[in-house]
A and B are shown apart, each in its own frame.
Chain A
Amino acid sequence: MNEGLYAKIMAAVPILRPLTRPELDEIVAISRLLKVGREATVIREGEIGNSMYIIVSGRVRVLKEVRAGEQKTLATLGAGEVFGEMALIDRYPRSASVVTLTNTVLYQLDLDRFNSLRDAWRPAAFKVLRQLAPVLCRRIRSMDRMTGEMLAARPEKDTPEVRRELMDRLKGGEA
């Protein structure tokens, strides 16, 4: 990895910032270099994620479905930035889609390969996990709060409208 990309990653990616240079090299060493054309879907919302990606060059859009068939751009990301990082903890459904805007070069890091560092108790893995842990906590707390509030405000009427409202709230507030 060249100095320019290293500096960009350190500036742009909080979850990788605690890593020393050799530790980041350790992460990169188990990653695959991936080249994709423009308008390619790298990850798809709702699909189970297996990898995290670091952008080496190019730009991508992060998209989320707000209503059936209607997507909203949440962010655009460029060199040195990461996406899909929750896949380093476990296989979860992706919370958003990522589509390339330009020809893009990525480092793809699979959960299985990351887990080999985790199983060996490598500081590189645990420093990254320490950064991801609060995100996991936030998701649990938000789902817990939503379901807790719904249980505390149990509707008195039972109509299709009430059921639909509950369903929308449940699915819309998904972590």
Chain B
Amino acid sequence: MKTGAMALMRSLRLFESFTDAELEMLGIVFRVREFPAGTRMCREGFPGAGLYIIVSGTVDLVREPVPGQVRRVASQGPGTLLGQISIIDGSRRNASADAVNDVVALEMDRADFERLFEAQSLFAYKLLDLILRDLSFRLRKANEALEEIDPGTIRSVEAMMSAIESVNRVLNTTSEMKTLIR
């Protein structure tokens, strides 16, 4: 395996309970990807290649619902995952991801995740656990934000739009996983 991936995996808390031999195995399914500042890591509407664990750098999630109308939906940094929904259900990317500065990430294919899961790998279980905790936190927060939108207190379309925007932002904001990075 590539030594780069091994060194990066050792720097992440997610991998700390694994032996060298197990890391060697996992190293086969992870690739180190480097994205120079300004490059696009994945594209809205395209099939999701896989999951990224961002090790360093900052990534902007952007959408272009209408050509020319670009909206930044969230920004994320080291210790966050990218592509969780795609790796779970194989759906297309719901946003593009741009490297704001130089980004280093570990990348894993969906097929490899499925294979590890079928083999009852503890790593696959840990990854699914992390992804579910992140996604369920987002859905819970979004439901709460939606509950707070009340016709009694919101008295303009402007105010309502900003409330809707905050629901949308919560849905797209990945929490930093303390179990992911040291």
Contacts and interface: CB of A to CB of B under 8 A. Distances in A.
A118 B128 CA distance: 11
B156 A90 contact: no
Contacts of A149: 65
A167 B148 CA distance: 12
Contacts of A21: none
Interface size class of A (residues with CB under 8 A): 35 or more
A14 interface: no
A155 B157 contact: yes
A66 interface: no
Contacts, number: 114
Chain B: interface secondary structure? Answer: helix
Contacts of A39: none
Interface string B112-123: 000001001010
Nearest to A145: B94
Nearest to A125: B125
B158 A158 contact: yes
A121 B91 CA distance: 27
Contacts of A140: 85, 135, 138-139, 142, 171
B62 to A, nearest CB: 12
Given A133-B128, A141-B85, A170-B149, A92 B140 contact: yes
A129 B89 contact: no
B128 A130 contact: yes
